[in-house]
Structure 1
Amino acid sequence: MEPGQVNKALITLVVAVATIGGFMFGYDSGVINGTQKGLEAAFDLGRLGIGINVGAILVGSSIGAFAAGRLSDLIGRRNTMMIAAALFVISALLAGAAASSAIFIFARIIGGFGVGAASVTSPVYISEVTPANIRGRMSSIQQVMIISGLTGAFVANFALARYAGGSTAILWAGYEAWRWMFWLQVVPAAIYFVALFFIPESPRYLVVKGRDDEAQSVLTRLFGAAEAKRKVSEIRDSLSADHHRPTLSDLVDKNTKKIRPILWIGIGLAVFQQLVGINVVFYYGATLWEAVGFTEDYALQTNILSGVLSIGACLLAIALIDKIGRKPLLLIGSAGMAVTLAVVAWAFSTAVSDAGGAVSLPGHSGVIALVAANLYVIFFNVSWGPVMWVMLGEMFPTQIRGSALAVAGFAQWIANAVISVSFPSLVVSPGLSLTYVGYAMAAAVSFFFVKTMVQETRGRELEAMEG
């Protein structure tokens, strides 16, 4: 490699491996979509029970996100991702074999630890090993992989259910198809674990730990010798004069004795990403469409369509994020989601029941709901889906990056849990229409939050971030 030349092949490899964590994040989150009939039948669950079993992963995810931010400061980004990969394997095996709801919940909490860890560690790792001019595009690949994981789970669930004759039908070795939906995720989890051995540790983590020679070696492989020396110096200079091991206390401004404003902005981004209700689509897509008259088979196919459109939207985000910036994409997404969610709410308000209690959307309402829901998914994945994670990975100063991500990630998963666990009950009262009105209002508020509070980070070096 010529001096000063970026090693694109190595950066591509590093990003590809790190974003397998995003794929597992998506797969482990999405596999539950399509298994709910099996869970209900196996464990005799009501609506609240379904909500708890589906939401169990979110309890683990909130804890995993909080712990991983700090853990990645202590043992490194790569080692934290390895722990996440191992947790994915353990969770998949236990969830598929669960003989009771309690065991299943325990298994999903373990998987949640992995999801939470991957959700905060992969973005910060990618942001720390890529050049500023392409950092947005590289970091956005994480969301593509999250959606690819979700879509992969939807496709696998559809294929297994179709082959078996239903999610509750026996598939192989005397076990139901829904159990194999969980066991199948062992394959990508194992690939993720092995692949992590082939990528280097984050150079910024190495500098924080005083391992400057190792950091310079990694940076030399990535950017060339001259650039590596300059970057090590920049990273060292960006650390506070009284540099110490990063702690949660760093999140409090030493002068004002108040929590740093940049952390509140990060928390706001993380929470609003969930309050717009996106994971209702990803976790309950099959149940949602069945609730308005779709068959199980067609509902699972609709999930796949949403996943494919999401991937396309993420690819568009990758093309735009380093050209027009993060903030404009967030504003476009907020406005688009507010409108499309309002349309979905109207369509659901027209639902009618026949004499047998079967629910359907009359006239063109079903088509309108389907189109509006998928436009909503597109607006989310061209904006808040990838951009929120990109910004959390780059907006915080080096000294507080791990700790701030821990707190913001924890807030994101708590909001996710509130939205996801509450949804089955909200379908009954106040109903789908008013529930979606609430999501539309959150999208509208997020527009003004971004407009007034969020600062653009496009093209800025990580060492230049303040807060």
Structure 2
Amino acid sequence: MQSGAARANMGLIGMIVAVATIGGFMFGYDSGVINGTQKGLEAAFDLGSLGIGINVGAILLGSAIGAFGAGRLADAIGRRAVMKLAAVLFLVSALLAGFADTSAVFIVARIIGGLGVGAASVISPVYISEVVPAAVRGRLSSVQQVMIITGLTGAFVVNYVLASYAGGSTAPLWGGIVAWRWMFWLQAVPAAVYFVALQFIPESPRYLVARGDHDGAAAVLTRLFDADTARAMVADIAASLAADHHRPSLSDLIDKATGRIRPIVWTGIGLAVFQQFVGINVVFYYGATLWQAVGFSEDHALQVNILSGAVSIAGCIATLLLVDRVGRRPLLLIGSAGMAVTLGTVAWAFSTAVTGADGAVSLPGHNGVIALIAANAYVVLFNMSWGPIMWVMLGEMFPNQIRGSGLAVAGFAQWIANAVISVSFPALVVSPGLAVAYAGYTLAAAASFLFVRAMVRETNGKTLEAMEG
């Protein structure tokens, strides 16, 4: 089967990828907007550290449910329909979170947004992997992570600008309404753009073949490639499903011969869990709180968030250049080793924190600079390895028959791991402290290296029909 980029309509494919990855932008924006609003939430809802953890972590409950449900729902109603649903959820969440007058209403709003985040997190990568040529699949699938980080950075920039203009996140802004509420409302704009743009992209041809619509799949593939390539691809997709063609279900994840869960499923779960256990979302969700905890002002902490977002994009761009040349597995190994070193450095720096007579916390000497450099080096390493590569691999590593179910389980595991790390962080800052928390993330990074060596197989250059589970 011809799957190279040479015969592909790269203009149309580029447009499809651009639209699909707006879901990644919304994933990032909805996840990152909470960073910088926490003082407002504390003041509005009278929250302590546990309350902040619950309000911040509410999105993760929705995300876990959304990721699990979206994988299965995408097999029933299609990839594009699920992305449209995610866009509506983003819009509703943005409006409701800004209007929330109680913690309970805010939590409901964030759970709704989480449903959209979870759906977008698993469906956008699989949709992209199902429409792009194998030769550039890693590169184009990695655009999802670029857009996630762009969304995060966009949220950080908007939060910083609004807080600076108002004089603080809890100060009144337009209409006398405090700035942190506007931070949520502004995300309604990209959510609406996402919904409208989705009207102009086709359904996944692999989904159409699975539903028996071979003519529809051929029509989509002819637009993407050419008539001869389209016919060959439809035949290959149909053949990959024919040996075990039935309505996809979670039971497909069990090897019928052994009665055990397929090894590829455990690999997917491991990739998903380790991506979170290295602590990346502590930086993205609690960056302002993190840096204020070691002596930075709110204004400087928000600026550090923007810096972290910018270097994250640089890391993602490195992945775009390397993923289809170097491969997925080598980048994961490099990332694991590098993150273990940089996280260990951050843990050491935080262990030197001192409290002054006025109760203010600071890092002595040059340790603050060392922590800042090491933390941003860690962010770069994550975003050139585990950040994008985990999503690339989840979108491509499962055979056609189990792709939706495999994504459902791995996506659910990813968001549960995210919740464990994110909800626990505010309490860990108090006791046993940042140094111990970062030592734990260091150990997870080291363990992820061993996991990749033992469990992960290279998928670079293989067609989706060649994936084995």
TM-score, scaled to structure 2:
0.99
**2:401 alignment partner in structure 1:** 399
**1:458 alignment partner in structure 2:** 460
Q: Secondary structure at the match of 1:436?
A: helix
In the alignment of these two chains, the number of paired residues is 465
1:380 aligned to which of 382, 392, 396: 382
Q: Secondary structure at the match of 2:252?
A: helix
**1:411 alignment partner in structure 2:** 413
Change (3 A) 1:176 1:266: same
| 1:276 alignment partner AA | V
**2:99 alignment partner in structure 1:** 97
| 1:408 alignment partner AA | A
Moved more, 272-281 or 167-176: 167-176
| 1:323 alignment partner AA | R
Deviation per CA, 1:279-298, whole angstroms, max 9, x where unpaired? 00000000000000000000
1:189 aligned to which of 176, 188, 191: 191
What pairs with 1:119-158 in structure 2 (closer than 5 Å)? 119-158=121-160
**2:57 alignment partner in structure 1:** 55
Contact 1:4 1:227 in 2 (8 A): no
| 1:120 alignment partner AA | V
Moved more, 122-131 or 233-242: 233-242
Q: Secondary structure at the match of 1:66?
A: helix
**1:16 alignment partner in structure 2:** 18
Shift of 1:96: 0.3
| 1:281 alignment partner AA | V
What is the CA–CA distance in structure 1 between the aligned matches of 2:13 and 2:335, rounded to whole Å?
29
Q: Secondary structure at the match of 1:315?
A: helix
Deviation per CA, 1:143-189, whole angstroms, max 9, x where unpaired? 00000000000000000000000000000112100000000000000
**2:281 alignment partner in structure 1:** 279
Contact 1:4 1:224 in 2 (8 A): no
Is 1:288 the counterpart of 2:290? The answer is: yes
**2:352 alignment partner in structure 1:** 350
What is the CA–CA distance in structure 2 between the aligned matches of 1:23 and 1:47, rounded to whole Å?
29
**1:227 alignment partner in structure 2:** 229
What is the CA–CA distance in structure 2 between the aligned matches of 1:4 and 1:351, rounded to whole Å?
56
Shift of 1:5: 2.5
**1:74 alignment partner in structure 2:** 76
What is the CA–CA distance in structure 2 between the aligned matches of 1:241 and 1:450, rounded to whole Å?
30
What is the CA–CA distance in structure 2 between the aligned matches of 1:250 and 1:449, rounded to whole Å?
24
Deviation per CA, 1:40-81, whole angstroms, max 9, x where unpaired? 000000000000000000000000000000000000000000
**1:325 alignment partner in structure 2:** 327
What is the CA–CA distance in structure 2 between the aligned matches of 1:5 and 1:284, rounded to whole Å?
45
What is the CA–CA distance in structure 2 between the aligned matches of 1:217 and 1:378, rounded to whole Å?
41
Shift of 1:214: 0.3
Q: Secondary structure at the match of 1:323?
A: helix
| 1:441 alignment partner AA | L
Deviation per CA, 1:122-154, whole angstroms, max 9, x where unpaired? 000000000000000000000000000000000
**2:180 alignment partner in structure 1:** 178
Shift of 1:452: 1.1
What is the CA–CA distance in structure 1 between the aligned matches of 2:254 and 2:443, rounded to whole Å?
32
What is the CA–CA distance in structure 2 between the aligned matches of 1:175 and 1:103, rounded to whole Å?
18
What pairs with 1:437-452 in structure 2 (closer than 5 Å)? 437-452=439-454
Shift of 1:356: 1.3
What is the CA–CA distance in structure 2 between the aligned matches of 1:173 and 1:55, rounded to whole Å?
29
**1:34 alignment partner in structure 2:** 36
Contact 1:140 1:314 in 2 (8 A): yes
Runs of 4+ that moved beyond 2 A: none
| 2:236 alignment partner AA | E
* Structure 1: runs of 5+ lacking an equivalent: none
What is the CA–CA distance in structure 2 between the aligned matches of 1:430 and 1:45, rounded to whole Å?
21
1:311 aligned to which of 298, 310, 313: 313
What is the CA–CA distance in structure 2 between the aligned matches of 1:439 and 1:445, rounded to whole Å?
10
What pairs with 1:203-222 in structure 2 (closer than 5 Å)? 203-222=205-224
| 2:84 alignment partner AA | M
What is the CA–CA distance in structure 1 between the aligned matches of 2:346 and 2:425, rounded to whole Å?
16
What is the CA–CA distance in structure 1 between the aligned matches of 2:267 and 2:185, rounded to whole Å?
38
| 1:219 alignment partner AA | L
Shift of 1:4: 7.9
What is the CA–CA distance in structure 2 between the aligned matches of 1:427 and 1:164, rounded to whole Å?
29
**2:254 alignment partner in structure 1:** 252
**2:362 alignment partner in structure 1:** 360
What is the CA–CA distance in structure 1 between the aligned matches of 2:18 and 2:216, rounded to whole Å?
22
**1:338 alignment partner in structure 2:** 340
Shift of 1:240: 4.1
What is the CA–CA distance in structure 2 between the aligned matches of 1:167 and 1:88, rounded to whole Å?
22
Contact 1:4 1:225 in 2 (8 A): no
Contact 1:234 1:463 in 2 (8 A): yes
| 2:147 alignment partner AA | M
Moved more, 235-244 or 334-343: 235-244
Contact 1:207 1:215 in 2 (8 A): yes
Q: Secondary structure at the match of 1:357?
A: coil
Q: Secondary structure at the match of 1:243?
A: coil
What is the CA–CA distance in structure 2 between the aligned matches of 1:156 and 1:403, rounded to whole Å?
36
**1:65 alignment partner in structure 2:** 67
Q: Secondary structure at the match of 2:173?
A: strand
